[in-house]
Amino acid sequence: MSVSYFRKQIELNMATQTHDTLVEQRGQLLQALAGIGDLRQGSLRAQYRRCGKPNCHCAREDAQGHGPYWLLTWLDRKTGKSRGRTIPPGAVEQTQAQLAEHQRLRALVRELVEVSDRICDARLDANKPAAPEKRGDFTRRSRNRSRPRSST
């Protein structure tokens, strides 16, 4: 057995290991995806408003204004317009968790796509046909044959 043969075997083993590890990783990612809870897109920010009454404490120059009012804004992908709604103070924590869940989903999807890319690569590499060693075989195989056309 030549050195290149053993090198090839080692490469194949490594490719198989990598492939299996990647498939395992993908399984874990899919499990994590199945555990995704309530999520929503957008960003949440606190707003303070002046009511406009001249006697109110908010009318002072250095006053913060009334609030906080929690405003959730997001991009409506159908219309391309920014949308928003106020979130009641009691629902702020829950909304923050839903926004965080959306980020978690996005991270998981990114990772899943990455791992899937690598799985596809590993499969391509594992099925890589060995380079032809005999010229004779090569020329015989490369002879042109017209494929039968599929009748539709």
> Which CB sits closer to Zn ion, 32 or 58?
58
State the minimum distance, in angstroms, from the CB of residue 61 to Zn ion: 13
Structure tokens at 139: 């020329």
Residues 2-61 that bind Zn ion (CB under 5 A): 51, 56, 58
Structure tokens at 25: 């990783």
Closest among 66, 103, 68 to 88, alpha carbons compared: 68
Whether the Cβ atoms of residue 22 and residue 114 lie closer than 8 Å to each other: no
State the minimum distance, in angstroms, from the CB of residue 85 to Zn ion: 22
- Residue 68 binding Zn ion, by CB under 5 A: no
> Which CB sits closer to Zn ion, 36 or 63?
63
> Which CB sits closer to Zn ion, 65 or 95?
65
Find the helix packing angle between 3-34 and 92-126, rounded to 10°: 160
Length of the chain: 152
Residue keyed to tokens 């899919």? 30
Q: What is the β-pairing status of strands 66-76 and 43-49?
A: antiparallel
Distance, CA of 70 to CA of 141 (rounded, Å): 70
State the minimum distance, in angstroms, from the CB of residue 53 to Zn ion: 5
Please work out the total of residues on this chain that contact Zn ion, with binding judged by CB under 5 A: 3
> Which CB sits closer to Zn ion, 10 or 59?
59
State the minimum distance, in angstroms, from the CB of residue 39 to Zn ion: 35
> Which CB sits closer to Zn ion, 23 or 56?
56
Footprint on this chain of Zn ion (rule: CB under 5 A): 51, 56, 58
